[in-house]
Structure 1
Amino acid sequence: MSIFAISDLHLSLGADKPMDIFGPTWEGYTEKIKENWEARITDSDTVLIPGDISWAMRIQEAEKDFVFLDRLPGRKIVSKGNHDYWWNSMKKIKEAFDSWGVTTIDILHNNYYEAEGYVICGTRGWRHPDSPDATEQDRKVYERELHRLTLSLESAKPTNKPILCGLHYPPFGPSGEDSEFTELLEKYGVKICIYGHIHYNFDVTGIVRGMYNGIHYRLVSADYLQFKPSLVI
């Protein structure tokens, strides 16, 4: 009965989006995910997947990817990434899951879930407004994501349980400095924050791993983990 995490699965069982064009690490990645998952996860475990789950462009095209995930052991809690173009209203996602017979996947969106004595909160996040390529629209999305995270964290407050937060984007400033996201995490006493989005250069400026201001930050991008779900709790 443990909590694991892995992000950026980039499944494409129902879409023509080969990942091996991004390098040999991604060759046979779906099989690697399945093999490593089944070797580590049991049905009593929970796996957090903070974003970039499927390359599907529409919810109907995501069926094979979610059926694949559903058949893997354990409970899965998924949240949105920047490439989850299939994402829709919670009502439509749940209707799709019901029609596909998906029963082991929960959607994290403005809410929280409980697992192993923790509450699990989160949101997608976004690129920091001070990033070199950021626009005014990025600022608007960033602020909206801050609001979504606040809703998630507020909803969990009555539980008085330790908080594990899942984000897709790293919550730091462009050079790894504090941000409105890290301040929010600290305000609510988050114990662990997992995030993904980063590929290839895992030592890029702006990434914090380990303990910082009382929060344990962990990068869980699938290729960083060599497609092995990482034990969090």
Structure 2
Amino acid sequence: MSIFAIADLHLALGIDKPMDIFGGRWANYMEKLRNNWIGAVKEEDSVIIPGDISWATYIDNAYEDFKYIEALPGRKIISKGNHDYWWTTASKLNKYLDENGFKTISFMHNNAFSIEDFAICGARGWKCPGEDDFKKDDDKIYKREIARLELSIKSAQSVQHKKKLVFMHYPPVTSRSQESGFIDLMKKNEITECYFGHLHGEGIKGAIEGFYEGIKLKLISADYLDFMPLLIQPK
């Protein structure tokens, strides 16, 4: 079993939301993603998708997007992004999966998952203090998301002898951040790998990749990966 990851699918099968307005890389992106995914991922593999799954505003409008994901090989673990307006409570999301027969999809929300030798944990995250658009109102959300990541990590700690991997939608730190409670929390819990999305276009220039304070950081936005799921842990 292998573990893959890719964020920011931005599926729009149930609504009219053309993505090619954001650049030529997005032309026929859903077909490209499907072909790449089928070519790389096997049924026994797992794919982590940290946020911005569907442009749907309500969960019922996201049906075609979830159907698209369900039809792809592998187990999929989904967490929330800033554009996932359809996201509701964990109980309602799980009920939606059951009612529609989506058996290969799970939601990560204040919880964690065990995949062989690894514990999968994460949270949406948020912009960090020091970034240009960080306002007073952002501080409350920032602290709440740190608390959500802590809950997920604590859930992962119940599975002993597993290496913990963190997946976030927002980057845990950028070149403009003055501080990051996400990084501090990961260091405290001896987490050495974090994968994130959210950044596109010019925003990619603010990404920090490679090792940062002992943590391996990797951007996995779908367009950045050219819509090819990234192999994180081979079998």
* TM-score class normalised by the smaller sequence: over 0.9
How do 1:211-226 and structure 2 match up within 5 A?
211-226=211-226
- In 1, the alpha carbon distance for the partners of 2:178 and 2:44 equals 37
Identity value in percent: 47
> What amino acid sits opposite 1:95 in the alignment?
K
1:131, distance to aligned residue in structure 2 (A): 1.6
Unmatched tracts of structure 2, length 5 or more: none
Residue in structure 2 matched with residue 100 of structure 1 by the alignment: 100
Unmatched tracts of structure 1, length 5 or more: none
1:202, distance to aligned residue in structure 2 (A): 6.0
- In 1, the alpha carbon distance for the partners of 2:12 and 2:174 equals 31
- In 2, the alpha carbon distance for the partners of 1:66 and 1:80 equals 14
- In 2, the alpha carbon distance for the partners of 1:157 and 1:98 equals 28
- SS at the partner of 1:106? strand
- SS at the partner of 2:158? helix
Number of residue pairs the alignment of both structures matches: 232
How do 1:1-233 and structure 2 match up within 5 A?
1-160=1-160, 161-175=162-176, 178-201=179-202, 203-205=204-206, 207-233=207-233
CA RMSD of aligned residues (A): 1.3
Sort the Cα spacing of 1:202 and 1:226 in 2 relative to 1 into closer, same or farther, 3 A: farther
Aligned partners of 2:79 and 2:124 also within 8 Å: yes
Aligned partners of 1:166 and 1:194 also within 8 Å: yes
1:95, distance to aligned residue in structure 2 (A): 1.4
> What amino acid sits opposite 1:147 in the alignment?
A
- In 2, the alpha carbon distance for the partners of 1:138 and 1:175 equals 15
1:176, distance to aligned residue in structure 2 (A): 5.5
Which consecutive segments of 4 or more residues in structure 1 shift more than 3 A? none
- In 2, the alpha carbon distance for the partners of 1:202 and 1:60 equals 31
Sort the Cα spacing of 1:21 and 1:144 in 2 relative to 1 into closer, same or farther, 3 A: same
- SS at the partner of 1:99? helix
Aligned partners of 1:8 and 1:221 also within 8 Å: yes
> What amino acid sits opposite 1:164 in the alignment?
L
TM-score (normalizing by structure 2): 0.95
1:165, distance to aligned residue in structure 2 (A): 0.4
1:81, distance to aligned residue in structure 2 (A): 0.2
TM-score (normalizing by structure 1): 0.96
Aligned partners of 1:130 and 1:173 also within 8 Å: no
